Structure 1
């Protein structure tokens, strides 16, 4: 909606609590009073002296580093207002509720929650829809802040709802989980996210993984936009380096050209997941490439307009000379541009050698780049047929893209079910059985799938290693329920 609203007050909370709300780690705060649903206010950070126990005893271990850092960064003269919130619900809890489960779903220890009840006889737990300010506002520290924690102070601000921390759907899922005190589904991933948070500021890979985990856990609605990795620019040069007739290769010796092509082929195979054994590196009398894992692969790289007739003989002689114990059963691969001669084709078929051109290798690498670890090297092995194998390998590439598209459609079907449920029900659950997902998928897609097939797919898509869907385990596979977490793009 992007509506501008003037809000007159701010709720004072310990600064780690506000940081947790902004990060999406929690959707609740612990004020000292009942807050009326619908009330809007900014979030004013306060220092460590305002919590009832020491920092180490008050905050859970997986949140403790963030809490400690937040307190250290808090100035004694100025504070930064980063967010505002709207109260969606306020409950009063006492010791009859499961504080252990509540602790697991929030940032506070069970001991910390017990201490609040000991001091106040109950806890006001307030569910907050949080929005980040478009431009954080710096204000002076309130001199009476210790008396104001958990209460309101006057602080007029004009705010916008343009940057919600969580989408409506994710907030409803989290709210339902907290209201019913359902235990956290993936506490081990919360620990991993906490460990990664300190690395994420300087390590892009850690940042990517941390954000993926946050999306999977339902702590974030935003995908981390990966910066273009300049280290992967070589992918677009595979075919180019194989074809030495290109203008940019003029002036280079055959040896230099061949070495560059060998190097990029090795990089390509490593990127696919092969372990290249550099002790057998090429050169005079050496193999162009040898991969030891996940299965032995011997290769010969031929840059230039044609693949010489004796390439198969070279690979045969060098392979049997260097590793006679492995060569006969190993996969054998010749990579080079152009049309192989009939003599080479016959020799390759006779000795079980697959021939592919650099363009096909480049397509494989781009597939792996777009969908990391989507290539099953043992399945790929079945398509490396003796003789010219480009068509066979491209069949495999097409099949992987088809499989990814089908999985994307399953994710989309569950997303559509969630959106329909949001429109038709005020108290949405957003969790669906395999049968419901299959029925919705089959209504719009082909081929039609069975419940068993859909269950296999949603189990894969809800794995912590993929994280496109979430899963609530039932008594058996038919009673398992699944919910949407993030899109699986196919382009």
Structure 2
């Protein structure tokens, strides 16, 4: 439950350091005075020109662009306070032997920490629990703020804030604090370097921005956002069934091609008669779609409002397939995308020639799942559904069963992530072993499906891999001593 907090003072810190705290890149600050745990204050952005060294030498992470902009931001008559913090712990650092590991756990270089230690004889390292403000608080520039870096200034008036929007959950903050207190080296320094290199790219490149966000989540610098923007392709994906059940055959063909590309299929040839290019459909004498990789798929589309599908549709696929693909046609998985029912002759031709008949609703369902859970569709696992009996219209059920199976696996994984998250929040511990989690899994009356201990361990390993990043893993000296902790949710539709 959120609480109200009244603030009357602010800690002055260089803008790059405040931005790093807000973005979850660090939980540490270097005040010039010892902070009593429990003290609460706003974070006042000050000019970074007073730091002991140049930005490149002082900060380990790529904070140059933020520092560069700080001068521009502070030329105005007001400053924007974006966050407030509570000091959870403060320690005195006066040992040069710890600076190397301390640097890897914070935003400062070892050289920067050595310079600070030389200037101030000791370093006060404060562990800050940071909270976002719902709206930036505009205050007049304090004329003494530049001389007060690392110290406190009074706010023009007291402000009331809430702790409803922490940068980290309790669990992740506890994990970060433990690593800093115990000087445990970072788990993935190479990913931290990659994230730092993405800073400039992420402002202009959407893919770099997405990768940057995913790396931050995996590193524990941020958590999965429930307000993340949905895949923009969902706008056209949600029209597949509607267009397939209309008389607009040309648009349906384009949507089918876009769907196969979205699923991960590709075609490198430039022949319009056997293409996957949504902007260059095959026309009257060409195949409606043709995929080369990861395996060959060829198909015919038939959008229709109400009429049945005649024998001419599967016959057309046979004719054009042999014409444009020659001997390759026999190696292809064959699909007819059709909304209407096949008549008797069309059914016989489709089944006799091993053609899968799939409805637009099923294609839409498959591509929607891919858009909402990008890693969920494995085309190599889908392949046996398309190349084994039954064929004809019954093939549609095979694809729907595959989709249902994927969704069930996602439910198990989402449920297991919640088990880890809830277990750690309830007990207050920082990680949990497989046997404990297995017991918690069955403590609830309706788990999604039975799981043996070995099966659960395999899924936990999968969820804690760098490619998924839903859980973190502390590797034990044998399989059963592995420990797991929560990183981010796996959100599913109802």
Count residues in correspondence: 474
**1:204 to partner: Cα distance:** 5.0
2-side partners of 1:402 and 1:184: how far apart? Answer: 34
Q: 1:454 to 1:153 in 2, by over 3 A?
A: same
Aligned residue in 1 for 2:492: 490
Is 1:64 aligned with 2:55? no
**Contact preservation (8 Å) 1:469, 1:482:** yes
Q: 1:260 to 1:278 in 2, by over 3 A?
A: farther
Task: Note the alpha carbon deviations across 1:348-370, whole angstroms, 9 max, x for none.
Answer: 23222211122221221122122
1-side partners of 2:53 and 2:7: how far apart? Answer: 32
Task: Note the alpha carbon deviations across 1:278-299, whole angstroms, 9 max, x for none.
Answer: 5224223221111111101111
Q: 1:2 to 1:242 in 2, by over 3 A?
A: closer
1-side partners of 2:143 and 2:16: how far apart? Answer: 20
**Contact preservation (8 Å) 1:58, 1:111:** yes
**1:456 to partner: Cα distance:** 1.6
Is 1:352 aligned with 2:357? no
Aligned residue in 1 for 2:407: 401
The residue correspondences of 1:75-474 to structure 2 (distance < 5 A) are 75=75, 77-155=77-155, 156-161=157-162, 162-202=164-204, 204-221=206-223, 223=225, 225-228=227-230, 231-244=233-246, 249=247, 257-276=248-267, 277=269, 279=271, 280-281=274-275, 282-304=282-304, 305-384=307-386, 385=389, 386-388=391-393, 389-422=395-428, 428=429, 430-444=430-444, 445=447, 447-474=449-476
1-side partners of 2:476 and 2:96: how far apart? Answer: 27
**Contact preservation (8 Å) 1:95, 1:114:** no
**1:85 to partner: Cα distance:** 1.6
2-side partners of 1:6 and 1:410: how far apart? Answer: 39
**Contact preservation (8 Å) 1:287, 1:315:** yes
**Contact preservation (8 Å) 2:233, 2:371:** no
Q: Which secondary structure does the structure 1 equivalent of 2:195 belong to?
A: helix
Q: Which secondary structure does the structure 2 equivalent of 1:440 belong to?
A: helix
2-side partners of 1:392 and 1:472: how far apart? Answer: 40
**Contact preservation (8 Å) 2:78, 2:138:** yes
Runs of at least 5 residues in structure 1 that lack an aligned partner in the other structure: 250-256, 423-427
**Contact preservation (8 Å) 2:412, 2:449:** no
**Contact preservation (8 Å) 1:287, 1:300:** yes
1-side partners of 2:309 and 2:125: how far apart? Answer: 73
**Contact preservation (8 Å) 2:262, 2:367:** yes
Q: 1:118 to 1:79 in 2, by over 3 A?
A: same
Q: 1:446 to 1:288 in 2, by over 3 A?
A: closer
Aligned residue in 1 for 2:279: none
2-side partners of 1:373 and 1:3: how far apart? Answer: 38
**1:470 to partner: Cα distance:** 1.3
Q: 1:201 to 1:49 in 2, by over 3 A?
A: closer
**Contact preservation (8 Å) 1:211, 1:224:** no
Q: 1:222 to 1:271 in 2, by over 3 A?
A: closer
2-side partners of 1:132 and 1:415: how far apart? Answer: 22
**Contact preservation (8 Å) 2:411, 2:448:** no
Q: Which secondary structure does the structure 2 equivalent of 1:306 belong to?
A: coil
1-side partners of 2:235 and 2:308: how far apart? Answer: 26
**Contact preservation (8 Å) 1:468, 1:488:** yes
Q: Which secondary structure does the structure 2 equivalent of 1:399 belong to?
A: helix
2-side partners of 1:390 and 1:134: how far apart? Answer: 48
Q: Which secondary structure does the structure 2 equivalent of 1:83 belong to?
A: strand
Aligned residue in 1 for 2:278: none
**Contact preservation (8 Å) 1:306, 1:336:** no
Q: Which secondary structure does the structure 1 equivalent of 2:292 belong to?
A: strand
**1:97 to partner: Cα distance:** 4.4
TM-score (norm 1): 0.90
1-side partners of 2:223 and 2:258: how far apart? Answer: 35
With 476-485 and 189-198 compared, the bigger mean Cα shift is at 189-198
2-side partners of 1:230 and 1:371: how far apart? Answer: 13
**1:181 to partner: Cα distance:** 1.2
2-side partners of 1:88 and 1:28: how far apart? Answer: 10
**Contact preservation (8 Å) 1:58, 1:108:** yes
TM-score (norm 2): 0.89
Runs of at least 5 residues in structure 2 that lack an aligned partner in the other structure: 276-281
**1:207 to partner: Cα distance:** 4.1
1-side partners of 2:242 and 2:270: how far apart? Answer: 24
